[in-house]
Structure 1
Amino acid sequence: MNYENRPLCLSKPTIRRELPPGMPDARMRLIRVLSKVWVNETELHYFFVDGPEAQRQAVRDAFAEWKALPLGLKFTETTDRAASEIRIAFDPNDGSWSYVGRDLLGIPATETTMNFGWDLTDDYGHSTALHEIGHTLGLPHEHQNPFSGIEWDEDAVYRFFTGSPNFWTRSQTEHNVLRKISTQEVDGSAWDPDSVMEYWFPAGLIREPAQYAGGLNPPGGLSAPDKEWAKKFYPELTAELRELKVFESQLLELAAGQQADFVLKPEASQNYTISTFGQSDMVMVLFEDDGGSLRYLGGDDDSGTGLNAQLNLRLLAGRRYVVRLRLYWAGGIGKSSVMYW
């Protein structure tokens, strides 16, 4: 597909987690790789700030295509802005962009987390919608993959992106094109030039690999590696959740990236503490079952701190809650546990 003269996604700066000095490389890498990924089976609520119905439907269709892989995530449209993690605008003067993965949780509810600056109803627009949702799932730009082997003609890159149709600044061009992602922040996958997260590039920007010196035009849509990555981090779950009972510790024996999920059914309305135990690095997220929709209540990420993930919240008798824990690093003994009281 020829995308020539079509504008490109201008991604937002990512939030880089500061980790203690002297941390072993293997532990640091696991934290960096997984830090943008949602806990699996998260229900993400999206809210349309504005936009005509045809554009909104194009975004709904893109969410449905990601979900149908299938993914262990749920995408739910909401009319309640305050209850949304994803807030979508259609400002034609702001380009197309999205924050990346769990960075969304740090964006105030008054601000949008995704924007579409051009028509989404043609093939290019459909790939744009898939691309921005890919950012929301935690995917970066593919050409910034440190394993790509791309050697740029940097002067030509700056000339192209500071001109029509993008009109970016040099710093925006650096952030979105020339900057390589650290090897500590990717899962080691080879470069995928067909990825929906890949830009198109005209002739003269890429020196190496030589086969792309004449330009790079991805086919559009989700590539096989795109689908593989998404299903690796968000596998569809079918097993019934185990119940985590008050004062009953549950042993966790997880590998990096794996997850444990429990249902909580408190018998008394009171303040509870939910905590992990051990030397592992883990993110813990609690949801409340609201008529079959899981609403985010809170989360804690103890990665790199030497502490344990812990939540202190008031839970109500007769309500159903779900706690999900995704492991980054298993610690010295490879085991941890979770309990609430």
Structure 2
Amino acid sequence: MTENTVPLCGLPPAPPRILPEGLSRNRLDAIIELGDKWVNGTTLRYYFFDAETDGSKVVLPDGSVEFVTWAGAQEQQDAVRRSFAEWKALGIGLNFTEVRDRNEAEVRIGFMRGDGSWSYVGRDVLGIGTGERTMNFGWDLTAPRARQTALHEIGHTLGMMHEHQNPFAGIVWDEEAVYAELAGAPNFWDRETTFHNIIRKLDRVAGSVWDAKSVMHYPFRPGLIVSPPEFGTSGINPPGTISDLDAAYIREWYPPLDPSDAPTLKPFESRPLALRPGEQADFLIEPDASREYTVRAFGPADMVTVLFEDVEGDLRYLAGDDDAGQARNAELRVRLFKGRRYVLRARLYTSWESNQTAVMYW
């Protein structure tokens, strides 16, 4: 072990998306890149565990059991709040708000020491129970440069992956040296964890350019990288800030939105969509009667559709569907109420016939 070894983020394993065989390369690439991203304009609500019973029992080396809390001190929470604000300050279309009820939160944050720092990626958090963490911070976020950990974990929640696993980086590891490095303090990772978080090449990344300055990049000491040779001798030490490429990619996925620009969608009115992969169309729905409605996409496309209710300017998730890779179109069946406002957001993975997609409700 070396003196500059630092604790690293360990992504929890997530089940792979099951897709049917025979999909074209374009469809696969679009689904892989965009499948964990949020529809733009989503408000992500985050919650800090704070109850005395919030925690985990851990078995100590002597066989005894100790309860370790998930609650974090005010200064630890403040470091996370500042990091959410830093991502929002990029001018993105996503919004972040803190809530006091865990049942309202998509992102639930713990500060369990000894459990490492980690987050589920993008929409994977929706599959985690409301009593469980989707993000954890295992060390002091007020230490020098430590707040980069909060920026990094929030980046995962936005759908970003580890940049050092970018297949375009061309990194060739001294694998045994990497396994030995991470097996000791402060990470104590087994080989499977090290492979999952470092050695493994990803099939979904932000773009085709390797960004060694990304906040999603681990630092590495000299001697762990065989190629490119300059990093073998110097190592890699990212600055721990949101890089220019990080900002560009996140703005590309979540460009700023003006809710007043959304056109109104009328019942039985088919609205054609002329979207490129990754683009999104938003519509305002103001039903003229309280009843059950069907909201559906049409055409040869993979798409995710999400319906929100506008509650005094706060968009609350109502229903969503994702038809990626399937031989059907996204469809929502919901009860809507006269006098209330709803926002429909449709994000395209890919379409294989131009200008042949549409949305309608009835």
TM-score under structure 1 normalisation?
0.96
Answer whether contact 2:161 2:205 (CA < 8 A) is retained.
Answer: no
TM-score, length of structure 2 as denominator length: 0.91
Q: CA deviation at 1:122?
A: 3.3
Q: CA deviation at 1:314?
A: 1.0
Letter paired with 1:21: E
3-state SS of paired residue (2:343): strand
Q: Deviations over 1:6-59 (max 9, x none)?
A: 201011123421111111111111111110111111111001113111111111
User: Partners of 2:216 and 2:107 in 1: how far apart?
Assistant: 19
One-letter amino acid of the counterpart of residue 236, structure 2:
L
The answer to whether 1:204 aligns with 2:223 is yes
Letter in 1 for 2:18: E
The aligned length equals 337
Amino acid at match of 1:189: S
**Equivalent residues in 2 for 1:116-127 (5 A)?**
116-127=137-148
Rounded Cα–Cα distance in structure 1 between residues aligned with 2:211 and 2:205: 13
User: 2:29 aligned with 1:29, yes or no?
Assistant: yes
Establish whether residue 81 from structure 1 lines up as the match of residue 102 from structure 2. Answer: yes
Q: Distance in 2 between matches of 1:191 and 1:60?
A: 28
Whether the 8 Å contact between 1:254 and 1:335 is mirrored in structure 2 is no
AA partner of residue 153 (structure 2) = E
Determine the C-alpha separation between the residues in 2 that align with 1:242 and 1:28.
31
Code of the residue aligned with 2:39 in structure 1: it is V
Matches within 5 A, 1:72-221: 72-182=93-203, 185-214=204-233, 215-221=235-241
SS of residue in 2 equivalent to 1:339: strand
Query: Equivalent residue of 2:108, what SS?
Result: strand
Contact 1:194–1:218 (Cα < 8 Å) also in 2: yes
Aligned to 1:45: 45
* Post-superposition CA distance 1:92-142 (Å, at most 9, x none): 121100000111111111211000011112342211000000000000000
Q: In 2, distance between residues paired with 1:240 and 1:177?
A: 43
* Paired AA for residue 185 in structure 2: S
Tell me the SS of whatever aligns to 2:86.
Answer: helix
> Which residue is equivalent to 2:302?
281
The match for 1:255 among 276, 281, 288 is 276
**Alignment partner of 2:257 out of 237, 262, 265:** 237
Unaligned runs of 5+ in 2: 50-70
Contact 1:4 1:200 in 2 (8 A): no
Query: Are the equivalent residues in 1 in contact too, given 2:34–2:349 (CA < 8 A)?
Result: yes
- Asked if the contact 1:288–1:294 (Cα under 8 Å) also holds between the matched residues in 2, the reply is yes
- In the alignment, the residues of structure 1 paired with residue 307 and residue 13 of structure 2 have an alpha-carbon distance, to the nearest angstrom, of 27
What amino acid is the match of 1:261?
A: D
Moved over 4 A (4+): none
- Deviations along 1:209-239, one digit per CA (max 9) or x if unpaired, are 1111132111111111000010010000235
Deviation at 1:187, TM superposition (A): 4.9
Q: Which amino acid aligns with 1:226?
A: D
State the shift of 1:190 in Å: 1.0
Aligned equivalents of 1:128, 1:209: Cα separation in 2: 26
Cα distance in 1, alignment partners of residues 25 and 206 from structure 2: 14
- Cα distance in structure 2, aligned partners of 1:76 and 1:8: 27
Q: Secondary structure at the match of 1:254?
A: coil
**What secondary structure is seen at the aligned counterpart in 2 of 1:103?**
helix
Structure 2 SS opposite 1:275: strand
- 3-state SS of paired residue (1:236): coil
Aligned residue identity for 1:22: G
Q: Deviations over 1:222-270 (max 9, x none)?
A: 1110000100100002352111111111111101010000111112221
Q: What SS class does the counterpart of residue 334 from structure 2 fall into? A: strand
Partner of 2:58: none
Q: CA deviation at 1:70?
A: 0.8
- DSSP 3-state at the match of 2:304: strand
Q: Which moved more, 1:134-143 or 1:19-28?
A: 19-28
The runs of 5 or more residues in structure 1 that have no matched partner are none
> CA contact under 8 A between 1:36 and 1:102: conserved in structure 2?
yes
Counterpart of 2:132 in 1: which secondary structure? coil
Instruction: Please list, as runs of the form range in 1=range in 2, the aligned pairs for 1:291-330 lying within 5 A after superposition.
Output: 291-330=312-351
**Matched residue of 1:299: which SS?**
strand
Identity across matched positions, percent: 53
From the superposition, tell whether residues 105 and 158 of structure 1 become closer, same or farther in structure 2 (CA, over 3 Å). Answer: same
Q: Is the 8 A contact 1:279 1:306 kept in 2?
A: no
